[in-house]
């Protein structure tokens, strides 16, 4: 993401746009008991159409503990991301509370 930001800003400017582009990103997460299992199951199933290798790569990128949540937020913020959408890999509503606790 960080490597893409300058290219996006340059393309924005080259297109004659004023101001700054809206920079957003999406990160998958699963927290609590079974987090890695939940993330792996959901993401490899959802992205199976891309092939096993790509689906596994995406699943491996999921954030699965509070420290990773904070690191992910910091990395995207430092890269210039204005909005990070944290997408849960589990339908358990408790994921929202776990994410809130991880963020602090």
- pLDDT range class, residue 86, cuts 50, 70, 90: very high
State the pLDDT at residue 1: 95
On average, the pLDDT of the chain sits at 97
Measured between alpha carbons, how far is 47 from 22 in angstroms, rounded to an integer?
26
Q: What is the mean pLDDT of residues 89-101?
A: 96
Tell me the pLDDT tens digit for each residue of 56-70: 999 999 999 999 999
Q: Is 84 exposed, middle or buried (0-12, 13-18, 19+ CB in 10 A)?
A: middle
Measured between alpha carbons, how far is 99 from 104 in angstroms, rounded to an integer?
9
The whole-model pTM stands at 0.90
Measured between alpha carbons, how far is 3 from 34 in angstroms, rounded to an integer?
32
On whether the CB atoms of residues 31 and 89 are closer than 8 A, the answer is no
State the pLDDT at residue 64: 97
């Amino acid at each position: 993401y960080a490597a893409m930001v300058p290219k996006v800003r340059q393309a924005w400017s080259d297109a004659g746009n004023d101001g700054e582009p809206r920079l957003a990103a999406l990160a998958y997460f699963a927290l609590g008991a079974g987090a890695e299992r939940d993330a792996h199951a959901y993401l490899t199933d959802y992205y199976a159409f891309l092939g096993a290798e790509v689906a596994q790569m995406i699943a491996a990128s999921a954030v699965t503990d509070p420290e990773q949540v904070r690191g992910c937020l910091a990395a995207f913020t430092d890269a210039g991301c204005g909005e990070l959408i944290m997408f849960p890999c589990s339908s358990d509503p408790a994921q929202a509370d776990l994410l809130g606790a991880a963020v602090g």
